[in-house]
Chain A
């Protein structure tokens, strides 16, 4: 038991260390100083109140998009459409934020809810297609990402008449003046609380409720679940709808917190796709997802500081280094597997 703890703790740490070392080798080969580079990465994440605030801001949507991917995965569904669900959620949140005049206590929940529902509806389509007709959800969700991107672009241009909407009403904003004050005007916002609450609720649903049990059961074995009297189709749809709701919330974080407006996009935001990596890093566990999001968001935001002097590492280079670190962390399972294989062989002898 103790040994197992030891392994589960040390393998990810070892993987991160290895990733950092390989990243350092690449920096040395390309003629950059890894110590300065990593120092700046560190300072870019924890250096002062502003970057700490911005790092939290970056982590917030990652928690929710990672959670969305992980939740669908528990039911055996690959929700590649988090990206599209996030974009429609973003748009819905901003629309509510712009078009209503309400006190903050009603306006904020309404806008957040609208984002979640928009995401749910967007995820309901692949869910029902999968449940009723057995259509592969991967293909449908990928295609719906493009539909979401271009439909919202057209709507933004159509409604606003320009490339960005106006700013949402202050009563719908997630920004908290206190956070702005202590973090030197970073865009850190109250959405982090929503994300944490979502993690707790999802943990509760999966671990403590009948619904969660059924969803996981369907994920393990559809036929057995059906035989046991569970409604597989219904569970698939519910799983997608909840996953979409979480993705929509991630969109609300961007629309009500980070940006406070919606702009036409030249491409997808990447938060939904990165959510897949976050879910994998977190082993598809709600609490694990939080750590995955912290690692991913931290590296992503901190790396913005690496092109500044004295390190002056070009951003392409940084993308490579960050990708390698993530790669090693994700392949932590490989180390675990190797370790277990080693120990078994010993046992046989």
Chain B
């Protein structure tokens, strides 16, 4: 009797399984059809994200937009023989993801973020015939192209804008984690503020993580309470906390003079609160532009292997967004002035603490 009940349960489960299996079978054909479409051999590209994922509103997303734009331009489809991405849930996933893409025969494979430096280095040695790119870090190998940005140039201009727009002469900087890239943002920004008005106090705080929005919100709360009116965040996903805090303050008091400067992509949308918008500007890092540039070069048979490509203002790799027209005419003119000075080499924004000290002593 008891056994009968259990076996009944097992039968129910198995039958249900078979029914579901039958349901699923129908879709198979469409997949087969897709495969046949890709008869010609395209120049295919793929990327592996870091833990931020492809929708991080930051450099992973920007890189993916670059790939999509490339795909659209040449009429390619997402998937094999076109363009694709794989997301990583943890540090251990980088290698298997890269390996999978190599075996899916992509012509060029990007690793996005400095966390992928070691994995790219290793896979490049294992597959000397495959081509790789690394964003935000350097890998010395003949089949790897390294893509860097002059974040300090965009951050410098953001600093200039903030210094012109502040009413309280107190400005905040919220960093994600201390690293070379964020160092360039911080020091460039501080130099930019200093260039306009050396008396402005820049408060610098680090979240210690790129995905802890709660902590970033607390830091922003402290800063705004202490009289800071503009915060520049270079904190990836944590930066959403800065936006949340600023929006809450704007919502409870529409007259509050509170601003956030976004990072990596144009973060105008993040700053929308009712009819107001608190995104002053964004220090954009055009990973999409850089990625497309590298793809185009490689497609034409000119893969820049072993080289370090640095994208700055001159290469359209970084810029300051103006969506929403929140900056005054005067501010824009000053920003333009400094932009020209950077372009013609009159000013070299500092990229680390030593360079900043040197810059301030000039």
What residues make up the interface of A, taking CB atoms closer than 8 Å to B?
Answer: 3, 6-7, 10, 14, 17-18, 20-21, 24-25, 27-28, 33-36, 50-51, 54, 57-58, 150, 153, 157, 162-164, 167, 185, 187, 254, 258-259, 261, 263-267, 269-270, 301, 304-305, 307-310, 312, 315, 319, 339, 342-343, 346
Interface residue B104 (Cβ < 8 Å from any Cβ of A):
yes
CA distance A343 to B2 in the complex (A): 6
- With contacts A28-B20, A54-B96, A343-B2 known, what are 15 further pairs, Cβ within 8 A? A3-B2, A17-B13, A34-B21, A35-B24, A50-B99, A51-B96, A153-B208, A164-B118, A259-B118, A263-B91, A264-B177, A266-B209, A304-B86, A310-B34, A342-B2
Q: Which residues of the partner chain A approach B211 to less than 8 Å between Cβ atoms? A: 266-267
Q: Are A258 and B6 within 8 A (Cβ)?
A: no
Q: Are A21 and B179 within 8 A (Cβ)?
A: no
CA distance A54 to B119 in the complex (A): 14
Interface residue B117 (Cβ < 8 Å from any Cβ of A):
yes
Q: Which residue of chain B lies nearest to A312 when distances are taken between CB atoms in the complex?
A: B79
The secondary-structure label for the interface of chain B is: helix
CA distance A305 to B93 in the complex (A): 11
Q: Are B6 and A10 within 8 A (Cβ)?
A: yes
- What are the 5 tightest A-B residue pairs by CB atom distance, in nearest-first order? A310-B31, A33-B27, A35-B24, A309-B79, A315-B87
Q: Which residues of the partner chain B approach A164 to less than 8 Å between Cβ atoms? A: 117-118
B209 partner, pick from A54, A167, A267, beta carbons under 8 A: A267
CA distance A28 to B23 in the complex (A): 8
Q: Are B20 and A301 within 8 A (Cβ)?
A: no
Nearest CB in chain B: distance from A274 CB, A: 10
Total contacts A-B at CB 8 Å: 116
The secondary-structure label for the interface of chain A is: helix
Q: Are B100 and A308 within 8 A (Cβ)?
A: yes
Q: Which residues of the partner chain A approach B20 to less than 8 Å between Cβ atoms? A: 21, 24-25, 28, 34
Interface residue B325 (Cβ < 8 Å from any Cβ of A):
no
Interface residue B345 (Cβ < 8 Å from any Cβ of A):
no
Q: Which residues of the partner chain A approach B80 to less than 8 Å between Cβ atoms? A: 309
Q: Are B115 and A263 within 8 A (Cβ)?
A: yes
Nearest CB in chain B: distance from A310 CB, A: 4
Can you list 20 pairs linking A and B with CB atoms under 8 Å apart?
Answer: A10-B10, A14-B10, A17-B14, A21-B13, A21-B16, A21-B20, A24-B17, A35-B24, A35-B25, A36-B27, A50-B99, A57-B92, A187-B95, A270-B90, A309-B31, A309-B84, A310-B34, A312-B79, A315-B53, A319-B89
Q: Are A28 and B24 within 8 A (Cβ)?
A: yes
What residues make up the interface of B, taking CB atoms closer than 8 Å to A?
Answer: 1-3, 5-6, 9-10, 13-14, 16-17, 20-21, 23-25, 27-28, 31, 34-35, 51, 53, 79-80, 84, 86-87, 89-93, 95-97, 99-100, 104, 114-115, 117-118, 126, 176-180, 208-211
Most buried by A among B24, B80, B87, B114: B24
Q: Are A259 and B86 within 8 A (Cβ)?
A: no
Q: Which residues of the partner chain A approach B6 to less than 8 Å between Cβ atoms? A: 7, 10, 339
